[in-house]
Amino acid sequence: MTRLVVYLTLSLILALGIAWLIAMPGTVLIDFGSYRLEPGLGTAIGVVIAFMVLTILAWAIVRRILEAPRTLARHAAHRRHEAGVEALSDGLIALQAGELTKARSLARDARSKLPENAAAQLLEARAELALGDLAAAREHYRALISNPKTAVAALAGLHEQAIAQNRPNAALTFARKALVLAPSLDWASQAVFENLAAKGAWAEALDMSGSLPAHTRAQRADKKRRQGVLQTALAGTLEETEPDAALEHALSALKSIPDFPPAALIAGRIYINRGDTRRASGLLRRIWRATGHPHIATLYAHVKPGASAVERLKRIRALVEAPREDRTAAIVLARAAIDAYEWTLARNTLAPFASAEPTQQICLLMAEIEEGQSGDQGRAREWLARAVNAPRDPIWTADGVTSDEWAPASPVTGRLDAFEWKVPVTTRTARALESRASEEGAESADTEESIEALPAERQSLSPSASTA
């Protein structure tokens, strides 16, 4: 309604203007050769305005005709660009979907339509890398390195290719080059850090660890633990030569990981060597109560250098509170009792655990007790025979490798913080787990067959059928 009113008002104003223009008094004298025209003033002004409008329209038509080739070329280029963008988008989707041949074909199509677009060449390189055409992918990546916009992406592709070809030195070189171009690059920082950790360059790895990403809470927790492990590794290398620096690193590690036995052992040994038994005892007592690690208790027993076996037993008895409820505590107390020739105490301490599936360490301790207390060689050999097939005790384990002492990285893969204090999975244990899994699978298959054999109304009442 408002538009109609505005349209009528403007039309009325225009009509009034034209009428006023025509009705204006006066004439205009126009001499053209032998012709003389004397139109009214309003008519003359109207003719001039009409001529101007016609001139503008004529020029617009002429300009459209003159610019037609350029316009057609521009429209063709626009359609070509849209087709190239669409091919690039479809190629990315195909690459993500695993249609590698299609992705490479679309990338080449996009490159032909978008010759200045480096993303199309990058997509083709990624597709060729995924297809295993490493030579072609390498050529594309090397061409992209010269472009500042794609240099980092090209180095990432070359790094991935070097890893696929098992060329760790080349991969590290590409990561370092990428880190120079982009110091905050996550994958490059991680690659350089892992190399430093694998080489045991703990000081450099500790410096590099501070630049690694930590955006989420879990990443911040991982970073804190990683720095604690590196501090412990650095303390271990300096313990013999620079004990003061080693103690500082060990205490820093305990700030990052409050109950970390390896760091506590290093700090405890340094305190003992200094003669500071009070701090060593306090630290080891706290870590023992938090972790129950046997190495902590053993060092606690030896806090006073030169102490007798009886004195060490007294310290262990003061440290261990409930050995009948904790196998590790019982083993520690029994070991100290055996060293002090307290055979009855050692036997009574291990009795609750020796009667029901004893571990290897308990079997070995019982063999020592039998031989030392009564000299019964037969019972001692019996316990030694049981130790062969007994379950194993916890030990530092990483990638299938066991060690009595903690190490900062796996000797197999070089992975940092790989060692865990746990019961190792032996071949016999793995076979037992596989056997149990196969038995459960057979029972599940038998259950399904029995359910299928039931009538329809009985199947609807079975839990498995209702779940399905």
The per-residue pLDDT for 463 is: 35
Please give the structure tokens belonging to residue 36.
């003389």
Tokens 């308990």 locate to 362
Helix axes 277-291, 294-301, angle to 10 degrees: 160
Closest to 191 in 3D by CA, of 207, 210, 169: 169
The per-residue pLDDT for 76 is: 81
Indicate the burial class of 164 (C-beta count within 10 angstroms; 0-12, 13-18, 19 or more): middle
CA 407 to chain centre: 23
Give residue 275's identity as a one-letter amino acid code. Answer: G
Lowest-confidence range among 157-166, 303-312, 397-406? 157-166
Q: Which of 252-266, 344-358, 405-419 has the highest mean pLDDT?
A: 252-266
Cβ–Cβ under 8 Å, residues 288 and 297? yes
Instruction: Name which residue leads in pLDDT, 461 or 424.
Output: 424
Give residue 34's identity as a one-letter amino acid code. Answer: S
Strand order in the sheet with 401-403: 401-403, 395-398, 420-422
Give residue 465's identity as a one-letter amino acid code. Answer: A
The per-residue pLDDT for 225 is: 92
Sign of CA dihedral 12, 13, 16, 21: negative
Cβ–Cβ under 8 Å, residues 160 and 129? yes
The answer, yes or no, to whether residue 468 has pLDDT greater than 50, is: no
Q: Which of 64-78, 294-308, 437-451 has the highest mean pLDDT?
A: 294-308
Instruction: Name which residue leads in pLDDT, 299 or 145.
Output: 299
3-state class (DSSP) for residue 210:
coil
Kindly calculate the radius of gyration of the chain based on its CA atoms and give it in whole angstroms. 43
Cβ–Cβ under 8 Å, residues 182 and 192? no
Closest to 255 in 3D by CA, of 236, 218, 230: 230
CA–CA gap between residue 314 and residue 304 (Å, rounded): 12
Q: Which residues contact 336 (CB under 8 A, 6 or more apart)?
A: 301, 309, 312, 313, 316, 317
The per-residue pLDDT for 458 is: 35
The per-residue pLDDT for 157 is: 83
Strand partners, 403: 396
CA–CA gap between residue 303 and residue 309 (Å, rounded): 12
327-380 tens-digit pLDDT: 999 999 999 999 999 999 999 999 999 888 899 999 999 999 999 988 889 999
Model confidence at 255, pLDDT cuts 50, 70, 90, reads: very high
CA–CA gap between residue 119 and residue 98 (Å, rounded): 18
Lowest-confidence range among 50-59, 288-297, 339-348? 50-59
Please give the structure tokens belonging to residue 285.
């007592």
Q: What distances in angstroms separate CA 131 from CA 96, 100, 143, 405, one per listed residue?
A: 13, 6, 19, 45
Mean of pLDDT values over 309-335: 88
Instruction: Name which residue leads in pLDDT, 53 or 134.
Output: 53
CA–CA gap between residue 245 and residue 239 (Å, rounded): 8
Give residue 1's identity as a one-letter amino acid code. Answer: M
Please give the structure tokens belonging to residue 229.
């492990």
438-452 tens-digit pLDDT: 554 544 444 444 434
Tokens 């004439």 locate to 27
H or E element, residue 415 = none
Q: What distances in angstroms separate CA 47 from CA 30, 39, 219, one per listed residue?
A: 13, 10, 81
Q: What is the largest CA-CA distance in the chain?
A: 154
The per-residue pLDDT for 454 is: 41
Q: Which of 127-131, 416-420, 428-432 has the highest mean pLDDT?
A: 416-420
Mean of pLDDT values over 263-283: 94
The per-residue pLDDT for 466 is: 35
Backbone angles phi, psi at 21, to 5 degrees: -65, -40
Cβ–Cβ under 8 Å, residues 340 and 313? yes
3-state class (DSSP) for residue 409:
strand
Mean of pLDDT values over 425-444: 50
The per-residue pLDDT for 36 is: 67
Mean of pLDDT values over 421-433: 63
Q: What distances in angstroms separate CA 361 from CA 373, 374, 406, 455, one per listed residue?
A: 18, 20, 19, 56
The answer, yes or no, to whether residue 244 has pLDDT greater than 90, is: yes
CA–CA gap between residue 157 and residue 178 (Å, rounded): 11
Would you give the DSSP letter of residue 461?
T
Q: Which of 102-106, 172-176, 191-195, 296-300 has the highest mean pLDDT?
A: 296-300
The answer, yes or no, to whether residue 307 has pLDDT greater than 50, is: yes
**Following CA atoms 390, 393, 396, 400 in sequence, which dihedral angle do they give, to the nearest 10 degrees?**
20
What's the mean per-residue pLDDT of the chain? 82
Instruction: Name which residue leads in pLDDT, 309 or 73.
Output: 309
Strand partners, 32: 35
164-209 tens-digit pLDDT: 878 888 888 888 888 888 877 888 888 888 888 888 888 888 888 8
The answer, yes or no, to whether residue 320 has pLDDT greater than 90, is: no
The per-residue pLDDT for 359 is: 93
CA–CA gap between residue 413 and residue 450 (Å, rounded): 48
Please give the structure tokens belonging to residue 435.
């056997």
The per-residue pLDDT for 33 is: 67
Tokens 């590099």 locate to 208
